[in-house]
Amino acid sequence: MTAVGIDAVEIWTGNLKLDLPGTFAPEKGEDPEKYTKGLGLNASSFPDSYEDIVTMGANAAHRLMERKGLEPDDIGRIDVATESAFDNSKPVSTYVAGCLEQVYEGDFHHANKGERKFACIAGTQSLDDAYNWIRAGRNRGRSALVIATDTALYARGDDGEATQGAGAVAMLISEDPNLVELSAEQGYGSADETDFLKPNQQFPSVDGKRSVQVYLARMREALEDFESVAGEVHEEDFAYAPFHTPFPGMVRKAALLAFRHVTRNTAVEDELAEEIGRQPRPEAFDSDDEYRDALRAYMDALKDTDRYAEWYDATIDPTLTISREVGNWYTGSVHVARASALKHALENDRGMVGEKLLVGSYGSGAQAEIHSETVRDGWVEEIEALNVDEQLSDRYEMSWDDYEEIHDAHNHEMDVDVEEFTTPDEEFVFDGWGRMGERK
């Protein structure tokens, strides 16, 4: 069976930066360490006044097409995943295609376009759609362009304000891909939840603490479901485990849960038993409460073991490097985590061809999906081409007043005009709602 997966990736950050411990925390009267140590964030990316989900998505896609020498005829499908859409009818992919058609001679008239919505997991769902389209043999030799683009803004004063972000990830999905092959096996954990909603409103209504619990519950179910089709997952099977990262502290919790899961009934559990006892099994307890208490105590002890710390440092921490500097990109977040891991491998001269990644995606509402990816022999060239470090250091750093202005400018209910903080550099810029970006 020919491999199908991600051939190339590009990341596009919003052009503004908010320093969380340095600027945000003091204004909120909070300890900066809540951000650096608790949430695990140093900064958030924000869109300048001329940026939105269309321009960021189109800019990421354009950079990808240029680098790969692609023309519109090479693309048979454009899917945009977003939870920041401004149009309930016309998909964002049509706006993005409109931008790209300004700079190419050809057009996307014979490409299928759509928009995927299921909170942050929609980026991975779009990947799956592209994978299935190619596997079904409907692609006529063409590739799919998948764009995950979001402005993850919360109302001012909402707890979520600490975890904002803005950016886009564009991915080319092809046969015989350069970067990673996607597994046919997937696992799901899905349930009707109301932890995070946007019913016809721009900023989300969030039950933050509950959303953390729902993320963990659905992720555990997805892992079990994945194992039911792919076989048991063990600690040493995966070089990295990129997970959806609303903030790195969330992934720290998910990682501990995953580690407990993949070490049960293994020599690692036997080894750890001398230090912290065996994992509690529900059948050994008279009530659910007793089991939960025992599990909590075991997890607290597990967190402090060297074995877990080593696994976390090698497999999880490298996935969080970019996220720490950009905040939550919703649909793009897990795809940023993959790029972050592979960048770490490149910077450390790690041989990755044939190595596996355990990819955990999550969307509120709620659904988690787990699949695995196998790194392909073109990965070095693809990851070397990323200019994300340069983009991050080129961002304009906002003062608190700048932040309030730009937040108002992006608030659809306010009619506020703000001067640009940065100068667009050969990129698509926002040209008013309902119109496509113009290239400046």
Q: Does 250 bind ligand CAA (CB under 6 A)?
A: yes
Q: How far is the CB of 226 from ligand CAA (least distance, A)?
A: 19
Q: Does 138 bind ligand CAA (CB under 6 A)?
A: no
Q: How far is the CB of 278 from ligand CAA (least distance, A)?
A: 25
319 vs 335: CA distance, rounded Å = 10
- Among 49, 124, 139, 328, indicate the residue that binds ligand CAA (CB under 6 A): 328
139 vs 4: CA distance, rounded Å = 12
- Among 330, 379, 403, 428, indicate the residue that binds ligand CAA (CB under 6 A): 330
Torsion region of 164: left, alpha or beta (phi above 0 gives left; psi -120 to 50 gives alpha): beta
Q: How far is the CB of 162 from ligand CAA (least distance, A)?
A: 4
Query: How many chain residues interact with ligand CAA (CB under 6 A)?
Result: 26
Annotation marks residue 244 as catalytic: yes
**Closer CB to ligand CAA, 44 or 328, in the complex:** 328
Q: Does 311 bind ligand CAA (CB under 6 A)?
A: no
Annotation marks residue 232 as catalytic: no
**Closer CB to ligand CAA, 189 or 249, in the complex:** 249
- Among 27, 71, 87, 159, indicate the residue that binds ligand CAA (CB under 6 A): 159
Stretch that binds ligand CAA, among 27-35, 136-144, 304-312, 316-324 (CB under 6 A): 27-35
Site string for ligand CAA, 350-389 (x = CB under 6 A): ------------x-x-------------------------
Q: Does 206 bind ligand CAA (CB under 6 A)?
A: yes
Q: Does 120 bind ligand CAA (CB under 6 A)?
A: yes
Annotation marks residue 99 as catalytic: no
Q: How far is the CB of 302 from ligand CAA (least distance, A)?
A: 15
Q: What are the C-alpha distances in Å from 356 to residues 234, 341, 351?
A: 12, 12, 12
Strand partners, 143: 75
Stretch that binds ligand CAA, among 15-23, 34-42, 97-105, 317-325 (CB under 6 A): 34-42
> Per the residue annotation, which of 10, 235, 244, 382 is the catalytic one?
244
Q: Does 215 bind ligand CAA (CB under 6 A)?
A: yes
**Closer CB to ligand CAA, 34 or 117, in the complex:** 34
**Closer CB to ligand CAA, 4 or 336, in the complex:** 336
Q: Does 329 bind ligand CAA (CB under 6 A)?
A: no
Smallest CA-to-CA distance from 410 within 105, 142, 86 is with 86
Q: Does 125 bind ligand CAA (CB under 6 A)?
A: no
Q: Does 39 bind ligand CAA (CB under 6 A)?
A: yes
What's the full length of the chain, in residues? Answer: 440
Q: How far is the CB of 359 from ligand CAA (least distance, A)?
A: 15
Stretch that binds ligand CAA, among 143-151, 154-162, 369-377, 430-438 (CB under 6 A): 154-162
SS3 per-residue string spanning the chain? CCCEEEEEEEEEECCEEEEHHHHHHHHHCCCHHHHHHHHCCCEEEECCCCCCHHHHHHHHHHHHHHHHCCCHHHEEEEEEECCCCCCCCCCHHHHHHHHHHCCCCCCCCCCEEEEECECECHHHHHHHHHHHHHHCCCCCCCEEEEEEEEEECCCCCCHHHHHCEEEEEEEEEEECCCCEEEEEEEEEEECCCCCEECCCCCCCEECHHHHHHHHHHHHHHHHHHHHHHHCCCCCCCCCECCECCCCHHHHHHHHHHHHHHHHCCCHHHHHHHHHHCCCCCHHHCCCHHHHHHHHHHHHHHHHCCHHHHHHHHHHHHHHHHHHHHHCCCHHHHHHHHHHHHHHHHHHCCCCCCCCEEEEEEEECCCEEEEEEEEECCCHHHHHHCCCHHHHHHCCEECCHHHHHHHHHHCCCCCCCCCCCCCCCCCCEECCCCCCCCEEC
Q: Does 13 bind ligand CAA (CB under 6 A)?
A: no
Q: Does 46 bind ligand CAA (CB under 6 A)?
A: no
Q: How far is the CB of 59 from ligand CAA (least distance, A)?
A: 22
Under the rule (CB under 6 A), what is the footprint of ligand CAA? 31, 33-34, 37-39, 120, 159-160, 162-163, 196, 206, 208-209, 211-212, 215, 244, 246, 249-250, 328, 330, 362, 364
Residues marked as catalytic: 83, 120, 244
